[in-house]
Amino acid sequence: MKYVVINTHPNNESFNYAIQETAVSALQEAGHEVQLRDLYTLNFNPILSVEDFAGSKSGQLPDDIKAEQDLIRWADVLVVIYPLWWASLPAMLKGYIDRVFSYGFAYSMDNNGLNKLLVGKKAILFTTMGNTETHYEETGMFDSLANTVDKGIFDFVGIEVLEHRYFTSVTTVDDAERKKMLDEVKTTLRKLES
């Protein structure tokens, strides 16, 4: 299968990078084709412009958007790795979605309503979080993310979310616990192959 791994964290010593390295290695070892999109290393421009809007309507997109859309067309599965910041996606990832999941590529509208243009694509999401699992359960954060990210972004364009794994307390647990989380990344990816 063909995977695009998208990582959104500015620190290459972060736990998100450990997840990235684990995911890429596990997928390659299983014989899959993998393209890595480290948005900070790419220096991806997350700012949606008036020109981007016009380009999505005319089909004349900037080269950086075309390149990302080509990779998404190529991929069977997106693996998206991001930290939860201020109860949401990092600005870099939100900007990537704003620009790349554009009208005419990811969705369109007609008299019958919404057309999901990425049907058949799948996604696996890994979200790192600083607070405890209990905190996020009590505040309804997991439900909120399921609605805003899984449904509001991915399902909106037809991408099926196969799994959304949440790793809580990543800044306060010890290395042994983080190793277990990385083992869960491998297990999640293996499970989805069968």
User: Using CA of residue 147, residue 35, residue 127, residue 188, what is the dihedral sign?
Assistant: positive
Dist. CA 101–CA 22, nearest whole Å: 26
151 secondary structure, DSSP code = I
The 8 Å CB, 24+ separation contacts for 28-35 are: 30/189, 30/190, 30/193, 32/1, 32/2, 32/3, 33/1, 33/2, 33/3, 34/3, 34/4, 34/5, 35/2, 35/3, 35/4, 35/5, 35/71, 35/74, 35/75
pTM of the model: 0.95
- Residue type, position 83, single letter: P
What crossing angle do the helices spanning 15-29 and 175-191 adopt, rounded to 10°? 40
**Domains and their CATH numbers in the chain:** 2-191 (3.40.50.360)
Question: What pLDDT score does 194 carry?
Answer: 54
The single-letter code of the amino acid at 20 is Q
Distances (CA, A) of 100 to 21, 48, 73, 144, 179: 24, 9, 11, 23, 33
Least confident of 18-22, 58-62, 119-123: 58-62
Q: What is the pLDDT of residues 107-138, one digit of tens each?
A: 999 999 999 999 999 999 999 999 999 999 99
Q: pLDDT digit string (tens) for 161-194?
A: 999 999 999 999 999 999 999 999 999 998 876 5
**Are 37 and 103 a contacting pair, CB within 8 Å?**
no
Of 32, 33, 30, 34, nearest to 20 (Cα)? 34
Give the confidence band of 60 by pLDDT, cuts at 50, 70, 90: confident
